[in-house]
Structure 1
Amino acid sequence: MNRTISLRHLRSFVEVANAGSFTTAAARLFVTQSALTATIQQFEESIGLKLFDRSTRRVIMTQEAVRFKAEADRILRDFDSAISDLQSFAESQKGHIRIAAAASVIYQFLVTAVGKFRQQYPGVTFTLRDAGAEQVEQMVMDGELDFAITSRHKGIDELSYVPLLEDRYGVVCRADHPLARRSGPLRWADLGPEGFVAFTADTGIGTFLHENAGHWPVFGGERDEISSTTSLFAVLNEGGRFSIIPALAAKAAGFTDLAYRELAAPVLSREICLITRRLRSLSPSSQRMLDVIMDTIRAQALPDGVSIIGEEPAPRSPTRHTTHHTTRRKAG
């Protein structure tokens, strides 16, 4: 391949071929006639063929140039189209964003954020995934996701974890359960294993509780396990059971009909993180989407037990009053 030939040569050739005149073509290309003539001569010398027969009145393509003209048109059309698409992606006129998040984050923030984003960038489509924390980390590392918003699971070196929210743990159960009717703050030491439903070890909640609360009596006996908050809602709704989930999850669809009591002595909180591949930049659309998500989080009245990390506490929902203690442990 002759690397001395460039798009400038192709554009010059096509413009002269279309105009049938060096003077007219030079004006359309905003170059001098002598510069255009030199460009065509370079092209002809590089390929070893004459492209135009010149007369005093008109420039006519040679037979070889006539055959090449359609191919040159196609090359320029494809190139211009590719650049236009690239600019559209940069300006979020089109594109696709792949996000994974905890179910509670999707319910509380992402659905609203996607709606706001679509108003500004209707040409961008989405994939939203609710998957286990272990699977999410692997998908981000493999490039199957642009970013994720969920709790840290293993803490993989190849990934970057930026804390966004602090989310306090508490007990969730039916309103007629004894734990829901008990007065005063609930303490970890008061919870027994009977009726307790735990999360499996491949979930962010399950891993965090095993590492930070596994020594409490509630984890000491045989227990049922589930792998998602969706399954948990169905189990708890039968009555006589309880589980331990973060405050944000307690606001998710389904749990609003159940009682939620924050746990004290000690207070345990998870961190909801932005998870991305280390040393990889987000696409312009993904960065704009993340900005909308953060604006959505800041604009909402967060549930008790949930706060934005690194910022002043957001306005609280007035529906519940709790006693806060000082002992805190963070995931990761």
Structure 2
Amino acid sequence: MAINIKYRPLKAFLLAVDTGSFTHAANQLGVTQPSFTALIQDLEEVLGLRLFERTTRSISLTSAGQDFYARVQRPIADLEEAYRSLADLAAVRRGNVALGALPSTALSLLPVATGTLRQAHPALKVRVVEAHNDELVALLRTNQIEFAVAAQAEPASDLTFTPLGEDCFCAVYPAGHPLGDEPGMLHWRDVLRYDLILLSQGSNARQQFDRAVRDEADAPATALRYDVTNMGTAAGMVRQGLGVSVLPRLALPELNLSGLRCTPLGDASARRYIGLLHRRDRSLSPAAQALVAQLEIAMAEIQPRLLPLPPMTPAD
């Protein structure tokens, strides 16, 4: 036989036991005493047992009431804790967010976004995994991160991409370098004339560079290339006169570019969209949504500090 289990009569029963008074229990539950008595009577009727011995001055548990109290006290406490826990998650009072980020976005967007999030929601915990775009996709598909701040990749049926903003790659060279004397905007073919300091294989910057050079007609041969992992290392090597680098515009405000010049490349192949990548079959948690909102604000705030996007030259 199915039993109609209602939370409110159970809560009334527990309050009556804990306070030893229907009057005090009714006040805690926020109902009148007659309404409270009706809740207890409804519970006794459902169970088919008397739970309390009542007089005009006191109440006491029957043996059945004592057994019932021992059985329901912990489950009701666990149920209420589960509700409080989910309410905290929904209100972003607590939670964990694991996200992935390209090095350029981790450098420029994540510190501001997570700092603001910490001020608003100090109990939230954020874990950031820096990785290349292909690695971020793999981490998403294996549920190791909830979402990624990444470059737009090839369309995939299992992933959703939401743009945050447009970015481009910039030539970074020492002050007084011949690239600074080039008329008009710079292109891939202009930087290929010089020794290059490039981000390592697997990075989005390197992928776009290799793809652009492969498609560049009559591209001049580069005499020397240095592969580095860190954008700060690339800038330091440029400062030492070891070559020219190509770095994401988004990261430049956070790098030490003293003594260097930066010029955005006008090629269509030097452009990319930065955005939020996540699995199509999963909804973002409230904590992740709160972080996404801060990332959107951080992207808007960094825009005035970025070099202007040049007019885009279509690929030949």
Aligned partner of 1:239 in structure 2 is: 241
| Superposed displacement of residue 76, structure 1 | 2.4
Mapping 1:187-206, distance limit 5 Å: 187-192=187-192, 195-206=195-206
Check if 1:97 corresponds to 2:97: yes
- Specify whether residues 78 and 201 from structure 1 end up closer, same or farther in structure 2 by C-alpha distance, changes over 3 A only: same
Mapping 1:33-72, distance limit 5 Å: 33-42=37-46, 44-45=47-48, 51-53=51-53, 58-72=58-72
- Specify whether residues 209 and 147 from structure 1 end up closer, same or farther in structure 2 by C-alpha distance, changes over 3 A only: same
Check if 1:303 corresponds to 2:289: no
Aligned partner of 1:316 in structure 2 is: none
| Residues 193 and 222 in structure 1, CA contact (< 8 A), matched pair in contact too | no
Q: Deviations over 1:253-278 (max 9, x none)?
A: 24455332222355731111111221
Aligned partner of 2:265 in structure 1 is: 263
- Specify whether residues 90 and 283 from structure 1 end up closer, same or farther in structure 2 by C-alpha distance, changes over 3 A only: same
Amino acid at match of 1:258: L
Structure 2 length normalisation: TM-score? Answer: 0.79
Amino acid at match of 2:107: Y
Aligned partner of 1:289 in structure 2 is: 291
Q: In proportion to residue count, which structure has more helix? A: 2
Structure 2: give runs of 5+ residues left out of the alignment. none
Aligned partner of 1:248 in structure 2 is: 250
- Specify whether residues 176 and 116 from structure 1 end up closer, same or farther in structure 2 by C-alpha distance, changes over 3 A only: same
Correspondent of 1:273 among 275, 290, 302: 275
| Superposed displacement of residue 97, structure 1 | 2.6
Amino acid at match of 2:119: Q
Structure 1 length normalisation: TM-score? Answer: 0.76
Amino acid at match of 1:188: W
| Superposed displacement of residue 95, structure 1 | 2.1
Partner Cα distance (1:38, 1:280) in 2 = 42
Aligned partner of 1:309 in structure 2 is: none
Partner Cα distance (2:258, 2:129) in 1 = 22
| Residues 8 and 39 in structure 2, CA contact (< 8 A), matched pair in contact too | no
Partner Cα distance (2:298, 2:84) in 1 = 31
| Superposed displacement of residue 117, structure 1 | 2.7
Query: 235-244 vs 121-130, which deviates more?
Result: 235-244
Mapping 1:78-227, distance limit 5 Å: 78-175=78-175, 177-180=177-180, 182=182, 184-192=184-192, 195-216=195-216, 217=219, 223-227=225-229
| Superposed displacement of residue 151, structure 1 | 0.6
Query: 247-256 vs 86-95, which deviates more?
Result: 247-256
| Residues 9 and 42 in structure 2, CA contact (< 8 A), matched pair in contact too | no
Aligned length: 308
| Residues 179 and 190 in structure 2, CA contact (< 8 A), matched pair in contact too | no
Amino acid at match of 1:156: A
Amino acid at match of 1:135: E
- Specify whether residues 11 and 32 from structure 1 end up closer, same or farther in structure 2 by C-alpha distance, changes over 3 A only: closer
Structure 1: give runs of 5+ residues left out of the alignment. 307-323
| Superposed displacement of residue 157, structure 1 | 2.1
Q: Deviations over 1:117-145 (max 9, x none)?
A: 33322222322332111111222333332
Query: 282-291 vs 28-37, which deviates more?
Result: 28-37
| Residues 163 and 271 in structure 1, CA contact (< 8 A), matched pair in contact too | yes
Aligned partner of 1:5 in structure 2 is: 5
| Residues 152 and 204 in structure 1, CA contact (< 8 A), matched pair in contact too | no
